[in-house]
Amino acid sequence: MNDDKLWYRLDNAGKLYSSIISSRATTLFRLSATLTTPIDPVLLQSALESALERFPFFKVQLKQGFFWYYFEGTKQIPKVEEEIYYPCMSLSIKKRGSFPYRVYYFNNRISLELSHSMTDGTGGLKFLYELVKQYLHLKESVPLKRETISNTQLRLETENSFRKFYNKSIPAPRSRSGNVFKLPIQLDKKGYYHIVTGIISVEELKKRAKEYDVSITILLTAVYIQSLLKIQERTSRRKRPIVINVPVNMRSFFETNTMRNFFVSITPTIDARLGEYEFEEIIQEVKIEFSRLLTPKKLKQYIKRSVISEKFLVLRLMPSPIKDIVAPSIYSFFGEGQYTSGLSNLGIVSVPSEMEPFIERVECYPPPSIGNKVKAMLISYKQHVYISFGNLSKDRMLEREFFRNIRELGIEVTIETNDEES
Amino acid sequence: MAYCPKCGIKVEGDNQPCPLCSFHIPKVNEEREAIVSVRKFPKTANPYPAYLRRVLNRIFIFLSLLVLVAVCLVFYIDYSLNDMFTWSRYSNLSILAGWVVLYFSFGYVQSFYKVIIGIGLDAFVLLFGLDIFNGRLEWFFPLAFPIIAGATVISVSYWSVIRALSVRGFNMIGYFFMAIVILSMWINFFIHNYQNKTNPLNWLIVTILQLLPVLLVMIYVKYGMPERIKQKIARKFHL
């Protein structure tokens, strides 16, 4: 097989993300694993090469076609680098020879920064898992299970599941529009991205969530909305709805093995114009919204909405340089403009018991976004939930409010940031 | 482990500002139990300022080459038609003066004073050249020189006043209008003088008589107007 001939179409989410890339909105999100010993770059490089053997889908570079971007197979191998930049920053994946992801190491931590045009959090986690597995095999002699990957499986991993579950006759959901609340904060200079990570005990969160009879995601979404309501109360005279963008991993609802983007966004909303909300009321509303939308039938509507946007003929016939010009404004108007902020839960990470002693923690950082200057992403590993806020502004009003509210629920929080020492 | 008294959150190091609210977290760890802290993040580099500079440099060099080609081309055409440099002197001097403005606009000179003075000198050279190419100086000394000198001095003083008084927002526009009025009077004076329509003393008296009522009204509004009338105006005209 000649690798040069190999190419993939982008999925509909990837098509959008590839066109909106800028020096601030890099579309990169970070998944990182902190091990117990300092990282050996040479071993990490060979681990990366083995991981790429397992996932040939990652041996690609982003190329510009006449109408759409696409991924082209390459024989080049990405190099692991020591971390020197702010997280999720300073990688232009469109540059020739650049990969749509990079692997960083710093002290004990391996970080994988992936462009959202390539895959979503779940796909990225699979690759990170493979990378860490290969690394621990080389470094700590953790045994590898021999597994043979058939060509069929490789094909299934690269399939576009949006298209697979797309049904033409299903109507798209009525899209909500309107003037939503935006945080009154200013962008920092280019190249800066401020991370605040809160470390919370899973047990404590579970206990609190159980008291309200909801899941951890719903509890945290409700706290998030409550924090935004309080900020709006303080800073803005006119009340606007709070709309949170919560990505849903569709793999839990539809049978697929894909490594590519397969998520839709649901938008729990609290309309602040209707009056003051108690925390219990917010929780109830979010709970109802989640159970109402998270059914395969309703989600198929959201798939429909994702796919029709890329089937729109005028958009398809537009040359890709022109798409690059119009896409950012379309995205900020119809996409991010419709949300106040985003909260994404990557779920629970579990690794085999022989690997667990070597991995101290797993974290994820959200991609920087100009329309929603602050976004949050959370992941659970062992006894802790790591919830990370990515912020393009220096102002930490949302982080402060959110973690104070968590404390008010009686839950302990440990805070870490990426610019405490600079 | 230390806690922020305001946020209630836990942080690893003590005796530093809270990462969320900047409230100083007091020292709680004993000397002997001080934790050996490992850096979690590198000292970060930011490649964007250097990158932006590189891109700007490339654009500037490209434009400079374009200017060079244009200048040579114009000289060549003029010389081949007339066997000497005639009209090309005017156009080329203008192009070169434009290039100097371009140089300043690309941010190679940081100080705003130097930029204003530089552009002023550029204008001097341009206008002096345009005038002297005719054979003798006609309008440079009576008109161009004082107007440009005035504009430069007024720009420099405007900027100094803005900085010295830390003027912000709408007031900057107010001060800008004041500068424009002074500059207009200055220009008006020299144009009138050039046309020999008036003698300077008369001109001064007429101008002062025009401006005096405006000045008096403004001083009255600012200091003399009763609070009641101010309220009334605010009521009728609030936006």
Q: What secondary structure does DSSP assign to B90-137, as a single string?
A: HHHHHHHHHHHHHHHHTTS---HHHHHHHHHHHHHHHHHHHHHTTSS-
**CA B40-B46-B47 angle, 5° bins:** 135
Q: What is the H or E stretch that residue B194 is in? A: helix B170-194
Query: Please, what is the average pLDDT of chain B?
Result: 88
Which residue type, as a one-letter code, is found at position A292?
R
Phi, then psi, of A64 in degrees rounded to 5: -95, 120
Q: List average pLDDT for each run of 10 residues in chain A, which is 422 residues long.
A: 69 90 92 95 95 91 91 92 91 89 94 94 94 94 85 86 89 80 92 94 95 95 96 92 93 91 92 93 95 93 88 87 90 86 94 94 94 94 95 94 94 88 52
Dist. CA A46–CA A52, nearest whole Å? 10
Better-scored residue on pLDDT, A422 or B119: B119
- Which of these, A123, A124, A126, A125, lies nearest to A159 by C-alpha position? A123
Per-residue pLDDT of A93-150, as tens digits, reads: 888 889 999 999 999 999 999 999 999 999 999 999 999 999 999 999 988 887 888 8
Dist. CA A60–CA A64, nearest whole Å? 13
The SS3 assignment for A294 reads coil
Q: Which sign, positive or negative, has the C-alpha torsion B170, B175, B178, B184? A: negative
Contact in structure between A110 and A44 (CB atoms under 8 Å): yes
Same-domain check for residues A125 and A256:
no
Dist. CA B152–CA B158, nearest whole Å? 10
With an 8 Å Cβ cutoff, are A413 and B10 in contact?
Answer: yes
Residue A4: its pLDDT value, please? 54
* Residues with Cβ within 8 Å of residue B175, at least 6 apart in sequence: B158, B161, B162, B167
Chain B within 8 Å of A410 (Cβ-Cβ)?
no
Residue ranges covered by each domain of chain B: 1-42, 51-186, 198-239
Q: Which two tokens stand for residue A246?
A: 């919560």
Same-domain check for residues A203 and A151:
no
Dist. CA A393–CA A36, nearest whole Å? 32
Residue B120: its pLDDT value, please? 96
Q: Which two tokens stand for residue B142?
A: 């009576």
Is A59 within the bounds of a domain?
yes
Question: What burial class does residue A419 get, using C-beta atoms within 10 Å of its C-beta: 0-12 exposed, 13-18 middle, 19+ buried?
Answer: middle
Chain A within 8 Å of B56 (Cβ-Cβ)?
no
Q: Is pLDDT at B196 greater than 80 in this prediction?
A: no
Same-domain check for residues A131 and A222:
no
Of all residues in chain B, the one with the smallest CA distance to A108 is B40
For residues B34-59, give the mean pLDDT: 84
Residue B235: its pLDDT value, please? 83
Same-domain check for residues A14 and A131:
yes
Phi, then psi, of A75 in degrees rounded to 5: -95, -10
Q: Is pLDDT at B33 greater than 60 in this prediction?
A: no
| Domain extent at residue A151 | 3-161
Is A422 within the bounds of a domain?
no
Same-domain check for residues A248 and A142:
no
Same-domain check for residues A202 and A280:
yes
Dist. CA B238–CA A71, nearest whole Å? 58
B47 contact residues in A (CB cutoff 8 A): 85, 90, 191
Residue A357: its pLDDT value, please? 94
Q: Among partner residues A192, A407, A415, which is closest to B46 by beta-carbon distance? A: A192
Q: Which sign, positive or negative, has the C-alpha torsion B63, B69, B75, B81? A: negative
Same-domain check for residues A176 and A297:
yes
Give pTM, 2 decimals.
Answer: 0.80
Same-domain check for residues A142 and A202:
no
Of A136, A161, A186, which residue is a domain's last?
A161
The yes/no answer to whether this complex scores an ipTM above 0.90 is no
Same-domain check for residues A171 and A105:
no
With an 8 Å Cβ cutoff, are A415 and B44 in contact?
Answer: no
Phi, then psi, of B2 in degrees rounded to 5: -120, 155
Dist. CA A112–CA A244, nearest whole Å? 26
Dist. CA A241–CA A182, nearest whole Å? 10
Same-domain check for residues A189 and A153:
no
Of A138, A161, A184, which residue is a domain's last?
A161
A404 contact residues in B (CB cutoff 8 A): 7-9, 20
Cα atoms in the Cβ-side hemisphere of radius 13 Å centred on B218: 7
B44 contact residues in A (CB cutoff 8 A): 84-86, 418-419, 422
Which residue type, as a one-letter code, is found at position A185?
I
* Residues with Cβ within 8 Å of residue A287, at least 6 apart in sequence: A214, A218
Residue A147: its pLDDT value, please? 80
For residues B15-43, give the mean pLDDT: 78
Residue B200: its pLDDT value, please? 74
Question: What burial class does residue A143 get, using C-beta atoms within 10 Å of its C-beta: 0-12 exposed, 13-18 middle, 19+ buried?
Answer: exposed
With an 8 Å Cβ cutoff, are A417 and B19 in contact?
Answer: yes
| CATH number (domain holding residue A282) | 3.30.559.30
Same-domain check for residues A215 and A112:
no
Q: Is pLDDT at B37 greater than 80 in this prediction?
A: no
Per-residue pLDDT of B161-174, as tens digits, reads: 999 988 877 778 88
| CATH number (domain holding residue A59) | 3.30.559.10
Q: Among partner residues B8, B39, B49, which is closest to A407 by beta-carbon distance? A: B8
Residue A181: its pLDDT value, please? 93
Question: What burial class does residue B114 get, using C-beta atoms within 10 Å of its C-beta: 0-12 exposed, 13-18 middle, 19+ buried?
Answer: exposed
Tell me which of A36, A85, A88, A389 to substitute to probe the interface with B (most B C-beta atoms closer than 10 Å): A85
Cα atoms in the Cβ-side hemisphere of radius 13 Å centred on A106: 17
Q: In what order do the strands lie in the sheet with A69-73?
A: A7-9, A69-73, A60-64
Which residue type, as a one-letter code, is found at position B108?
Y
How many domains are contained in chain A?
A: 2
Same-domain check for residues A149 and A271:
no
Q: Among partner residues A413, A415, A418, which is closest to B41 by beta-carbon distance? A: A418
